[in-house]
Amino acid sequence: MNLPFKTIELRGGCLLCCLLIGFFTACQNKERKPNIIYIYADDLGYGELGVYGQEKIKTPHLDQLAQEGIRFTHHYTSAPVCAPARCMLMTGRHSGHSFIRGNYELGGFADDQEGGQMPLPENALTVAKVLQQAGYKTGIIGKWGLGVTGTSGHPNRQGFDYFYGYLDQKQAHNYYPTHLWENEQWDTLQNPSIVVHRKIEGDLTDEVFDYYKSQDYAIDKMREKTKAFIERHKDEPFFLYLPSTIPHVSLQVPDGELEPYLGKFDEQPYGSEKGYAATKYPLSTYAAMISYLDKQVGEVVAYIKELGLEENTVIMFSSDNGPTFNGGVDREFFNSTGGLRGGKGEVYEGGIRVPFIARWPGKITSGQVSDVVSVQYDMMATLCDIAGVEAPPNDGISLWPAFSGQGKVTPRDYLYFEFPERGGQVAIRFQKYKGVKTGLKNNPNSPWQLYDLESDTKEEYDIAAQHPDILQKMDSIVKSEHWSATIREWEIIDPKFNL
């Protein structure tokens, strides 16, 4: 068929136009910075995911995330409790340099006493600020714990364009709160005010347990806001920090989520003896909470796929510290630390070694397991590397070479941990060795314990007496890495006063 010249010209022009649009679109997609989603569990132990050896709690979505990406076996939080771990994650500073080193509580539990924790200072340089300045839309949905409304630490003042969730960690003890916060606005939930730490006296009846249940489950509200944030920013690079409150006690989960676990465990009701909410099925509730978190992760991955963002989105998952010791949690029953010593609040492996998974189709080869020794204060350097942004001075290294297989991770001599609570503790991971000091507040000259983590992962055999040279090395590390603490209560290395 012979076409008129003008028709040929028109069609040719359309073809050229389409080719140019496709070319420029491809260039834009190529130049667009990757989306970054960092999911942070609360008090999730090293051994509480199936892919890390858990046998009683089902976590299929997180297991799949690991299978489709990389899983780290020697990854550490920066501190063994909430606020300092979150501060160091955000700032890339270890606990000898960090502004916040412990859970310094302000205010009380009641709504009218909400005071939060010590706020980040105005001049803090967070990874959110760095990415925001690089053109990212930044959001946090979950638990903050680094400053409430009216302080310098509020997330909107620390680089986040959007915030939804709990500002105060104490408020986050209750999964059915009266309110959450959206930016600096109070968001009322359909829940009555309850005292989640009230002591139960008398019989543990269903009425007692029902006191801790209500209508708006905080996790569900945050899930809605997560989806809305991704939808709102799907056409531009975003950094989304998702610090979930699961599985931090209280033990509270919607009744329907219990069904897969009821009858599976030999369990007795928990009556608030160790604080937090009473619950009829403590083992089932704890397992169901972790499975519910797993389901949330699966929904985030599915939504990213649905929007066609999968190949330009890196998703990471970790936990702020090891499993807790109170509120009806039975970490021995679930082998929550994977056999490691200690737990939350301790610098032994069970308190600071945590899961870490990263997935980015096409960029991170699936099925990798890495024994690279890494820590959460590496995230400043790592996220900046992923975003193609120069990182500010920090204490970490980029883990991108481990993710991508391109090059080698920068060698490091040691990891440093300093924790002023639970008597005052220090730990150093040096090559295959781990040095630990405890009880520093009562005894500034507390001796080193030394463990060979290559042959003694459970830290059972103190070999300090056999290696005076290594102890001397560790003393020099403490001397070089410790900066004076922000407040008196946190100064455990070089106190100029009696604590």
What's the pLDDT tens digit per position in 314-337?
A: 999 999 999 999 999 999 999 999
- The domain that holds 143 is classified in CATH as 3.40.720.10
Domain end point (choices 411, 446, 461): 411
Is residue 9 scored above 70 in pLDDT?
no
Same domain, 310 and 263: yes
Is residue 26 scored above 60 in pLDDT?
no
- CA 246, 252, 255, 256: dihedral to nearest 10 degrees? 0
Specify the pLDDT at position 65: 98
Nearest one of 142, 144, 188 to 167, comparing CA atoms:
144
Specify the pLDDT at position 29: 44
Does residue 439 lie within any of the structural domains?
yes
What is the total count of domains within the chain?
A: 2
- The structure tokens listed for 448 are 């080193």
End-to-end CA distance of the chain: 95
Does residue 344 lie within any of the structural domains?
yes
Query: What's the mean per-residue pLDDT of the chain?
Result: 94
Same domain, 233 and 358: yes
Where in the sequence is the domain holding 427, given as residue range(s)?
416-490
- The structure tokens listed for 384 are 């900046």
Is residue 6 scored above 90 in pLDDT?
no
Same domain, 291 and 439: no
Same domain, 370 and 440: no
- The structure tokens listed for 453 are 């983590």
Q: Region 217-232: what's the mean pLDDT? A: 98
Does residue 10 lie within any of the structural domains?
no
Specify the pLDDT at position 497: 76
Same domain, 403 and 420: no
Rounded to 5°, angle at Cα 319 from 152 and 190: 65
Is residue 68 scored above 80 in pLDDT?
yes
Does residue 9 lie within any of the structural domains?
no
- What is the C-alpha separation between 468 and 43, in angstroms, rounded? 35
Specify the pLDDT at position 30: 52
CB 175 within 8 A of CB 250: yes
Same domain, 345 and 423: no
Does residue 6 lie within any of the structural domains?
no
The DSSP code for 483 is -
Q: Region 48-69: what's the mean pLDDT? A: 98
Domain end point (choices 411, 430, 463): 411
Same domain, 341 and 284: yes
CB 76 within 8 A of CB 355: no
Does residue 188 lie within any of the structural domains?
yes
The DSSP code for 217 is -
> pLDDT digit string (tens) for 92-124?
999 999 999 999 999 999 999 999 999 999 999
Residue with the larger pLDDT of the pair 157 and 27: 157
Same domain, 371 and 347: yes
Sign of CA dihedral 260, 261, 264, 268: negative
Does residue 53 lie within any of the structural domains?
yes
Specify the pLDDT at position 173: 98
Is residue 358 scored above 70 in pLDDT?
yes
Is omega for the bond preceding 250 within 30 degrees of 0, making it cis?
Answer: yes
3-state SS class at 451: strand
Determine how many CB atoms are found less than 10 A away from the CB of residue 173.
Answer: 21
Same domain, 129 and 109: yes
pLDDT class of 499 with cuts at 50, 70, 90: low
Domain end point (choices 395, 411, 427): 411
Residue type, 408: K
Specify the pLDDT at position 31: 76
Is residue 1 scored above 50 in pLDDT?
no
Determine how many CB atoms are found less than 10 A away from the CB of residue 250.
Answer: 24
Same domain, 381 and 257: yes
Specify the pLDDT at position 167: 98
> pLDDT digit string (tens) for 126-161?
999 999 999 999 999 999 999 999 999 999 999 999
pTM comes to 0.93
Does residue 12 lie within any of the structural domains?
no
Residue type, 88: M
Q: Region 54-69: what's the mean pLDDT? A: 98
Specify the pLDDT at position 496: 85
Is residue 25 scored above 80 in pLDDT?
no
Specify the pLDDT at position 446: 97
- The domain that holds 423 is classified in CATH as 3.30.1120.10
Same domain, 234 and 299: yes
Same domain, 343 and 226: yes
> pLDDT digit string (tens) for 156-213?
999 999 999 999 999 999 999 999 999 999 999 999 999 999 999 999 999 999 999 9
Specify the pLDDT at position 447: 98
